[in-house]
Amino acid sequence: MVPPVLYAKSGDLQIAYSVLGEGPVDFVWAPGFVSHLEMQWENPDIAHSRERVASFTRLILFDKRGTGMSDRPAGIPTLEERIDDIRAVMDAAKSERAHLMGVSEGVPMSILFAATYPERTRSLILYGGRARFTRAPDYPWGPTEEESEEYLQRLIANGWQQDFTTPDQRRWLGPGLRDDPEFLRWYARFLKSAATPAARIALSRMNRLIDVRDIMPSVRVPTLVVGKTGDPVMPPDCARDLAARIPGARLVEIEAEGHMWGRASLEIADTIKEWVTEAAAPIAADRFLTTILFVDIVGSTQHVAKVGDAAWRDQLARHYAAARRHLAVFGGIEVDTAGDGLLAHFDGPGRAIRCASAIQRSAAELGLEVRAGIHTGEVERAGSAIRGIAVHLASRVASLAGAHEVFVTSTVRDLVAGSGLEFTDRGTHELKGVPGTRQVLGVASA
């Protein structure tokens, strides 16, 4: 039975989702590059894999923004917006906590969600994806940015007609599917229905910017990596690298070729069933990934001497009142306002940057000069406070900034790919009390 397509509100967009099965636990399926909630049921193999998972869970499926039956946003969707969509779908489906599976391109967004919202993630399952889309000197998997763009340009020049006869495409499809004319006809139609050409261009170019390696050690939920030995997207050494970056992650390798589930569907589904029903033990969610904002008033001592104590107290009170309004708008949580500084945290780095800029603008209207530092990292919850090296890192980064500047770490830069935010390199620094060196960047536009 094909489940009805429902809609969840995420910001200004409507995200399409469906619910199938009545199992004892919820299971959210984060799809790959493109998906289509209705058309997927036309393919018997795909339909069977979904039904198999729904036989032991309450399966929640959705189309990412810009694809399938979900709304098309203006511009490139960011990882931050995508995890908002997962949360919106879970809320609409009345799912408080779920096992989350990221498939292919859905892997990075699932990693970010699990690290940010461990209290809503029973476990994390990753299949056929990478922490980074493009190859780098320290990451030998995937195409280069140039190779990715060349492939996209060939597809555009070919009128978006997919050529399934090339060696790369045949390896990607795997045995069975690559020689099935009926499947290939359906799949070509599926790709065109699942995303417009403009959406596929935007998604392809956004994917090149993805790199979630820095946040993977912050994942604190049970994690299973499922790989196929002949998957060209996530070959065995890439799968082992993915699992090694997440504390306690387990790796299951299945002897099979191709990227799609194909002939390995039953074995993959059975692996997931064993994990969900027997192996995934819950972990206390006292540690989580968050974006820390530290705001500091520049030259406060000289300013007090200039205006006097009474005027300073009034000015500071108005500054904090305005800052709290901005925190409310951007979803920030205030932690502390010691002295003339402000410490807050956010569930998304883009929102933290925009909030910092808003605080700077309102402070300037009061005659104050403000600097800010932002870092995304793992913290420990301690009542209403947060602790950890990430907090110190944000403070140290803020101390490098000057008046009206917002400085961020490279981790923040990597997580806001596609947001339109621009940065300038401010060098690599040794930060007091923080091991190693860190690249620091200034926000050029927010």
Q: What is the DSSP string of 11-70?
A: TTEEEEEEEE---SSEEEEE--S---TTGGGGSHHHHHHHHHHHTTSEEEEEPPTTSTTS
In this prediction, residue 285 has a pLDDT band, given cuts at 50, 70 and 90, of low
Q: Token pair of 281, please?
A: 């033990």
* Amino acid of residue 216: M
pLDDT in tens, 6-62: 999 999 999 999 999 999 999 999 999 999 999 999 999 899 999 999 999 999 999
113, 299, 305, 321, 361 from 317: Cα distances, Å: 35, 17, 17, 6, 16
- The sign of the dihedral angle between the CA atoms of 334, 428, 444, 143 is negative
CA 33, 36, 40: angle at the middle one, nearest 5?
105
Q: What is the pLDDT of residue 235?
A: 96
Please tell me which residue, 277 or 238, carries the higher pLDDT value: 238
Give the percent of the chain with pLDDT over 70.
98
Average pLDDT, integer, range 153-167: 89
In this prediction, residue 211 has a pLDDT band, given cuts at 50, 70 and 90, of very high
Average pLDDT, integer, range 234-242: 97
Determine the Cα–Cα distance for residues 146 and 345; give it in Å rounded to an integer.
36
Q: What is the pLDDT of residue 365?
A: 92
Q: What is the pLDDT of residue 283?
A: 63
Residue 76 pLDDT more than 80? no
Give CA torsion, residues 391, 108, 211, 32, to 10 deg.
-160
Mean pLDDT of the chain: 92
| SS3 label, residue 431 | coil
pLDDT in tens, 305-347: 787 878 888 888 899 989 999 998 898 999 988 778 899 999 9
Q: Token pair of 233, please?
A: 């997207």
pLDDT in tens, 172-190: 999 989 999 999 999 999 9
